[in-house]
Amino acid sequence: MAKTVLVTGATGMVGCDVTKQLSRKGPAVRAGVRDRVKARKRFGDEIDLVPFDFEDVGSFGGALDGVGKVFLLPPLIPSQVELTNAFVDAAKRAGVRHVVKLSAIGADAAPPFTVGKWHAANEQHIRESGLGFTFLRPNSFMQNFITYFPPRDGAIYLPWGNGTASFVDTRDVASVAADVLTSDGHEGKIYTLTGPVALGIADVTRILAGATGRDINYVDVPEADARNGMLQAGIPTWQVDALLELHAINKQSCWSAVTSDVEKVTGKPPIDFAQFARDHVENFRSG
Ligand SMILES: NC(=O)c1ccc[n+]([C@@H]2O[C@H](COP(=O)([O-])OP(=O)(O)OC[C@H]3O[C@@H](n4cnc5c(N)ncnc54)[C@H](OP(=O)(O)O)[C@@H]3O)[C@@H](O)[C@H]2O)c1
> Same domain for 45 and 149?
no
Cα of 142 vs centre of ligand 1, distance in Å, is 15
Specify whether the CB–CB gap between 84 and 55 falls below 8 A. no
Phi and psi torsions of 70, nearest 5°: -130, 135
Q: Is the pLDDT of residue 2 over 60?
A: no
20/131 Cα distance (integer angstroms): 25
Phi and psi torsions of 167, nearest 5°: -50, 145
How does the average pLDDT of the chain come out, rounded?
Answer: 97
Q: Which protein residue has the closest C-alpha to ligand 1 atom 39?
A: 11
Phi and psi torsions of 128, nearest 5°: -70, -20
275: CATH: 3.90.25.10
Q: SS3 for 4? A: strand
Q: What are the residue ranges of helices labelled H in 50-113?
A: 60-64, 80-93
> Same domain for 131 and 87?
yes
Q: Residue 26: its pLDDT value, please?
A: 86
**Ligand 1 pocket test, candidate residues 20, 41, 57, 76, most atoms within 8 A of CB:** 76
> Same domain for 107 and 157?
no
> Same domain for 111 and 214?
no
Q: Which protein residue has the closest C-alpha to ligand 1 atom 5?
A: 140
Q: Does the residue 34 lie in any domain?
A: yes
> Does residue 194 have its Cβ closer than 6 Å to ligand 1?
no
pLDDT in tens, 152-207: 999 999 999 999 999 999 999 999 999 999 999 999 999 999 999 999 999 999 99
Cα of 12 vs centre of ligand 1, distance in Å, is 6
Q: Residue 3: its pLDDT value, please?
A: 85
**Ligand 1 pocket test, candidate residues 34, 60, 122, most atoms within 8 A of CB:** 34
> Same domain for 281 and 147?
yes
**Ligand 1 pocket test, candidate residues 13, 143, 193, most atoms within 8 A of CB:** 13
Q: Residue 136: its pLDDT value, please?
A: 99
Q: Does the residue 275 lie in any domain?
A: yes
Q: Which domain holds residue 35?
A: 4-138
Cα of 215 vs centre of ligand 1, distance in Å, is 31
Q: Is the pLDDT of residue 246 over 80?
A: yes
pLDDT in tens, 210-245: 999 999 999 999 999 999 999 999 999 999 999 999
> Same domain for 75 and 148?
no
Q: Does the residue 190 lie in any domain?
A: no
Q: Of 18, 9, 285, 68, whose CA–CA distance to 175 is shortest?
A: 18
Q: SS3 for 133? A: strand
Q: Which amino acid is at 81?
A: V
Ligand 1 atom at shortest distance from the alpha carbon of 35:
40
Residue 156's contacts (CB-CB under 8 Å, 6 or more residues apart) are 145, 149, 150, 201, 204, 205, 208, 216, 217, 218, 219
Ligand 1 atom at shortest distance from the alpha carbon of 115:
47
> Same domain for 123 and 158?
no
271/166 Cα distance (integer angstroms): 11
> Same domain for 123 and 145?
no
Produce one character per residue of 241-258: b if its CB has 16 or more CB atoms within 10 Å, e if not.
Answer: ebbbbbbbbbbebbbbeb
Ligand 1 atom at shortest distance from the alpha carbon of 34:
40
**Ligand 1 pocket test, candidate residues 47, 101, 118, 141, most atoms within 8 A of CB:** 141
Q: How many structural domains compose the chain?
A: 2
Cα of 190 vs centre of ligand 1, distance in Å, is 20
Q: Of 107, 119, 112, whose CA–CA distance to 248 is shortest?
A: 112
pLDDT in tens, 4-58: 999 999 999 999 999 999 999 988 999 999 999 999 999 999 899 999 999 999 9
Record the pTM. Answer: 0.98
pLDDT in tens, 104-133: 999 998 999 999 999 999 999 999 999 999
> Same domain for 106 and 201?
no
Specify whether the CB–CB gap between 79 and 114 falls below 8 A. no
Q: Residue 182: its pLDDT value, please?
A: 97
Q: Residue 56: its pLDDT value, please?
A: 98
Q: Of 283, 273, 281, 157, whose CA–CA distance to 204 is shortest?
A: 273
Q: Which protein residue has the closest C-alpha to ligand 1 atom 46?
A: 76
Q: Which protein residue has the closest C-alpha to ligand 1 atom 29?
A: 75
Residue 93's contacts (CB-CB under 8 Å, 6 or more residues apart) are none
Specify whether the CB–CB gap between 159 and 226 falls below 8 A. yes
Q: Residue 137: its pLDDT value, please?
A: 98
Q: Residue 27: its pLDDT value, please?
A: 85
Q: Does the residue 115 lie in any domain?
A: yes
75: CATH: 3.40.50.720
pLDDT in tens, 202-215: 999 999 999 999 99
Specify whether the CB–CB gap between 169 and 140 falls below 8 A. no
Q: Does the residue 129 lie in any domain?
A: yes
User: What does each C-alpha distance from 160 to 177, 263, 274 come to in angstroms?
Assistant: 29, 28, 20
Q: Is the pLDDT of residue 270 over 60?
A: yes
Q: Does the residue 263 lie in any domain?
A: no
> Same domain for 124 and 242?
no
Q: Does the residue 245 lie in any domain?
A: yes
> Same domain for 149 and 283?
yes
